[in-house]
Structure 1
Amino acid sequence: MKPIFLSPYFRQKIWGGRKLETLFNYQIPDGKVGEAWIISGYRDDASHVINGEYKGMSLRDLYQQHPEVFGNPTEKEFPLLVKYLDANDNLSVQVHPDDAFAEKVEHDSGKTESWYVLQADPGSYLIYGHHAKTKAELEEMVKNGKWDKLLRKVPVKAGDFFYVPAGTIHALTKGIVVIETQQSSDVTYRLYDYDRVDQKTGKKRELHTEKSLAVTTVPHVDPVLNTAEKQVMDAKITTLVEPPVSPHFYLAKVDLKGKLNFQLKHRYQLFSVVAGNGSLHYDNVNYDLKLGDNFIIPAGIKQFAFEGTMTLITSAPTE
């Protein structure tokens, strides 16, 4: 078994830009590219393996055809999705359903997600939560377009972390780049879109007001994350979120300046290099790592090592 390196899948968005090319040296399509799905097994939008015996396979096919690579999990679909998002303009204000609602209404899983902020222009803010105290107040404010009064704006800077449970009204705004870790789902309910017109259709983009109101948590309460740091050799490892706060994934940041012997504690684990460069050492083989690289340590690899000056975001499903 070897580390599995992946190529991104890119998505154009009305709010996208070109930073994914300049920041990560990705070869992105022309136009407004808002998302790089860097570790994805989601349907036709999957990442592809770029090394080893499974080279050329989609992560979705690899997961389904070779479950032993992932420790023979019970989940039928790859459970996590990791993205880079370049908000060159404001994203629509959204809310996602939980598993129960999504499975019943959309025949898909729910969507809890998280953001680690990589870049933010001065004065940037997120939409994170709302000010309504009751469902009736929420419905009244939405019906009458009281967006400035309803939406909660939170200042943001590079290095900030936000956990976004299903039911949370949220949106990135212009000038922010994040790495997003989420459940593998694309179920999104658009509550407000600044009355923008899609240039391709000449019409305002569809809103999902009724579904949004049905799944929004009222009142909004910020989750208590209990973020913890520990020093291991030459690395500071920061646990960003984990069970029981996060029922779907474990997420951490590794800031390395030197060497780190790593012992896998999960069935398999996802890694993305978000700053710097270095190397991964396993089974007498050195794998060069650079900004923008994404890989999975599969089941069967329990001990390996990192070396260099770099920051990695790592996640694992909670199964």
Structure 2
Amino acid sequence: MYQEPIFLKSVFKERIWGGTALKEKFGYHIPSDETGECWGISAHQNGPCEILNGALKGKTLDQVWDSHRELFANEEGEEFPLLVKILDANNDLSVQVHPDDHYAREVEGEQYGKTECWYIIDCEEGAELIYGHHAKSKEEFEQMVADGRWDDLLRKVQVQPGDFVYVPSGTIHAIGKGIMILETQQSSDTTYRVYDYDRPDAEGNTRELHIEKSIEVSTIPHQDASFEVVEDVREGLRSKKLIQENYFTVYHWTLDGDVTEKNENNYLLMSVLDGEGELLVCDQTYSFKKGDHFIVPATMTDYKLRGKAAFITSHSTK
């Protein structure tokens, strides 16, 4: 039985809105000064992560999903269900929306739509997200888009570090300048741009918009999603369940000391936001530090965490 954590090599994505904060805050070796995304836990075809340790070293996460499903509690599905990213919004991201599973399969031929959630790691004072819109009907939405009345249409929300935002498929949204988030999402890269500030890319071209598809998949009128944060303390670990919904369950963990964890027939995705420590299992010790991403497989039934650190952890919701 496989009894070790699975550490992953991050994949970095350059974006027109990216910057250098992934290097400055996490010490990552980024490809350029316009690096927007760190895919920390990914089996997606556009950026699968390589395994860094153990018997599976050198394989990619999608390969292991296909060949060692026991590590993932024999979960069904052709593709690994989740993707975990850290995003550095050095500038405003485009205003966008994602389809649900049905639309993604019927129109794009993709297995998953994209429901996601954001934990605000850091942000500038007064930083804002776009979350939702003010249109009361599809006709009003279409007219406001056609007229370019973006300030009237788009709903802005101020955020601060530690905030959590749930973004179901169909939600108009955009991450604003000066915000760094950890995003937990369905494993999808399907995005429909509604508005991109008419800005040019490196070649002087504006990026493609997807107005018709955006209108088709958007929730109109906007609906705020409701969720309840549940807090639990066990030994040296304070756990906040941020959300439990159809696709994922996400927690914020604060470790200060030791805790013994029992894995309840599931696998756990772990991203270290701050600090450092050790994971102990079967007389073996594995060190972790800020910026590491790893998976506790379903076969690792008992383990201990020791140190002083903060994590975002998640698993698929069956």
TM-score tier, shorter chain, comes to: over 0.9
Partner of 1:164: 167
Partner of 2:131: 128
Partner of 1:94: 96
Partner of 2:252: 253
* Structure 2 residue matching 1:89: 3-state secondary structure: coil
8 Å CA contact 2:73, 2:265 repeated in 1: no
8 Å CA contact 1:91, 1:193 repeated in 2: yes
Q: Which amino acid aligns with 1:117?
A: I
CA distance in 2, matches of 1:317, 1:217: 24
Q: Which amino acid aligns with 1:169?
A: I
Q: Which amino acid aligns with 1:218?
A: I
* Structure 1 residue matching 2:64: 3-state secondary structure: helix
CA distance in 1, matches of 2:13, 2:71: 28
8 Å CA contact 1:266, 1:316 repeated in 2: no
Alignment of 1:35-184 (within 5 A): 35-108=37-110, 109-184=112-187
What fraction of aligned residue pairs are identical, expressed as a percent? 47
Q: Does 1:275 align with 2:274?
A: yes
CA distance in 2, matches of 1:23, 1:44: 25
- The alpha-carbon deviation at position 312 of structure 1 amounts to 0.8
Q: Which amino acid aligns with 2:51?
A: V
When normalised by structure 2's length, the TM-score is 0.97
Unpaired stretches in structure 2, ≥5 consecutive residues: none
Partner of 2:292: 293
Q: Which amino acid aligns with 2:299?
A: G
Q: Does 1:14 align with 2:16?
A: yes
Q: Which amino acid aligns with 2:64?
A: L
Partner of 1:310: 309
Q: Which amino acid aligns with 1:279?
A: E
8 Å CA contact 1:161, 1:240 repeated in 2: yes
CA distance in 2, matches of 1:76, 1:30: 34
CA distance in 1, matches of 2:161, 2:284: 34
Q: 1:225 aligns with which of 224, 227, 231?
A: 227
After superposition, give the CA deviation of every residue in 1:283-314 in whole Å (9 maximum; x if it has no partner). Answer: 11111110001110112111111111111111
CA distance in 2, matches of 1:230, 1:169: 32
Give every structure 1 segment of 4 or more consecutive aligned residues whose post-TM-superposition deviation is greater than 3 Å: none
CA distance in 2, matches of 1:31, 1:58: 26
* Structure 2 residue matching 1:13: 3-state secondary structure: strand
8 Å CA contact 2:265, 2:301 repeated in 1: no
Partner of 2:261: 262
- The alpha-carbon deviation at position 266 of structure 1 amounts to 4.6
- The alpha-carbon deviation at position 44 of structure 1 amounts to 4.0
CA distance in 1, matches of 2:299, 2:277: 23
Q: Does 1:205 align with 2:215?
A: no
8 Å CA contact 2:267, 2:315 repeated in 1: yes
Structure 1 pair 240/266, CA: closer, same or farther in 2 (3 Å)?
farther
Q: Does 1:31 align with 2:36?
A: no
Residue range with higher mean Cα deviation, 20-29 or 82-91: 20-29
* Structure 2 residue matching 1:101: 3-state secondary structure: helix
Unpaired stretches in structure 1, ≥5 consecutive residues: none
8 Å CA contact 1:278, 1:308 repeated in 2: yes
CA distance in 1, matches of 2:228, 2:264: 20
8 Å CA contact 2:87, 2:181 repeated in 1: yes
Q: Which amino acid aligns with 2:291?
A: G
8 Å CA contact 2:89, 2:177 repeated in 1: yes
CA distance in 2, matches of 1:156, 1:31: 25
After superposition, give the CA deviation of every residue in 1:233-280 in whole Å (9 maximum; x if it has no partner). Answer: 1221000110xxx21011101111111111222521100100111111
8 Å CA contact 1:80, 1:181 repeated in 2: yes
Q: Which amino acid aligns with 1:124?
A: A
When normalised by structure 1's length, the TM-score is 0.97
Alignment RMSD? 0.9
Q: Which amino acid aligns with 1:292?
A: G
- The alpha-carbon deviation at position 31 of structure 1 amounts to 3.4
